[in-house]
């Protein structure tokens, strides 16, 4: 539980600091150069690679999923301890939360991919002449697509990356169109942990769920975004809001379920609990902005159907 709380706090902090942690690497929101293709040298933002990287170290679970999904898996030689998918990713004890430059350098990488510049790791790796590509937490689907295509450019898999984002766009549009139209949006609460940290519509997950026509009951808890889109709700406020749908993104970490939710004091009166609209999500899928966001959308759409 304590680890999950630290993760949630780090997530909120990362959201608040996102605009100021680009360091000396490239900005992942920059559009890919249309002339780069798979010919080297390749430049994306401020990062130029003279040749195709063959010893990639990923310190981001989402980036790991992206790399394998575009066919760059054979070039990945090490991933961080939190990279749980795919199962055959070369998982190590490297940490993305507490990155150690010496440990990373020991893997002899020709490219390091990370989502957070913690401990000024970008500058440390830069001093060691190790190329770094920064893929910050996406705030919407377009940014996620851009990161996939940029990784495709850098790794020599431009075509595969473009094909992947094309499939994702089609699948997401199809799923969104399949949700029954309602005159009034379905209200929902998305749980990050049992202490009632949640997301607003300003976050990546919130923007994805908005595509399904849902209304987030947590938006009023962070109206100006000062909490990074990750407010902590009070039990009283949540019970009063009585969302029609509850999405649990803490089933693995914190063993939460429809049964544990119903046992909470006062929660039996919440509409979603009374109607059985409590959906258990896969924590890993729910916390990443990679290709499996399609699976997340499908899980929620199935519940709405």
Tens of pLDDT, residues 1-21: 444 444 454 554 444 443 333
Distances (CA, A) of 157 to 131, 218, 289: 18, 39, 19
Peptide bond into 86 cis (omega under 30): yes
The residues facing 57 across adjacent strands are 78, 112
User: Quick one: tokens of 259?
Assistant: 């049964």
Mean pLDDT across the stretch 294-301?
Answer: 96
User: Quick one: tokens of 84?
Assistant: 């749980």
Tens of pLDDT, residues 53-98: 999 999 999 999 999 999 999 999 999 999 999 999 999 999 999 9
- What is the model's pTM? 0.86
pLDDT, position 11: 52
Mean pLDDT across the stretch 123-151?
Answer: 96
What is the phi-psi region of residue 213: left when phi exceeds 0, alpha when psi lies from -120 to 50, beta otherwise?
left
* Neighbouring C-beta atoms of residue 190, cutoff 10 Å: 26
Q: Which helix (H) or strand (E) holds 210?
A: helix 204-210
pLDDT, position 211: 95
User: Quick one: tokens of 191?
Assistant: 């749980």
What is the phi-psi region of residue 112: left when phi exceeds 0, alpha when psi lies from -120 to 50, beta otherwise?
beta
pLDDT, position 38: 61
CA–CA dist 218, 188 (Å, integer): 8
Domains along the chain with CATH numbers: 22-170 (3.40.50.1980), 180-304 (3.40.50.1980)
């Amino acid at each position: 539980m304590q680890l999950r709380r630290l993760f949630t706090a780090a997530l909120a902090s990362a959201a608040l600091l996102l605009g100021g942690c680009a360091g000396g690497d490239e900005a992942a929101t920059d559009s890919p150069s249309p002339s780069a293709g798979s010919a080297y040298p390749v430049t994306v933002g401020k990062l130029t690679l003279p040749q195709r990287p063959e010893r990639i170290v990923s310190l981001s679970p989402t980036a790991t999923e992206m790399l394998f999904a575009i066919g760059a898996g054979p070039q990945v030689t090490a991933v961080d301890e939190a990279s749980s998918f795919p199962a055959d990713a070369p998982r190590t004890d490297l940490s993305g939360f507490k990155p150690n430059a010496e440990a990373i350098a020991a893997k002899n990488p020709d490219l390091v991919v990370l989502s957070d510049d913690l401990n000024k790791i970008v500058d440390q790796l830069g001093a060691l002449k190790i190329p770094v590509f920064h893929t910050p937490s996406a705030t919407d689907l377009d940014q996620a697509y851009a990161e996939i295509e940029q990784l495709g450019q850098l790794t020599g898999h431009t075509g595969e990356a473009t094909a992947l984002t094309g499939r994702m766009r089609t699948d997401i549009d199809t799923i969104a169109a399949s949700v029954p139209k309602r005159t009034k949006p379905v209200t929902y609460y998305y749980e990050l942990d049992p202490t009632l940290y949640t997301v607003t519509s300003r976050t990546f997950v919130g923007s994805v769920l908005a595509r399904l026509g849902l209304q987030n009951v947590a938006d009023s808890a962070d109206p100006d975004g000062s909490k990074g889109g990750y407010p902590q709700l009070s039990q009283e406020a949540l019970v009063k809001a009585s969302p029609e749908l509850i999405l649990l993104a803490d089933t693995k970490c914190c063993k939460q379920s429809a049964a544990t939710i119903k046992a909470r004091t006062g929660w039996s009166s919440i509409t979603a609990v009374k109607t059985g609209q409590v959906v258990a999500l896969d924590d890993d899928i729910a916390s990443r902005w990679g290709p499996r966001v399609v699976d997340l959308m499908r899980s929620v759409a199935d519940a709405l159907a």
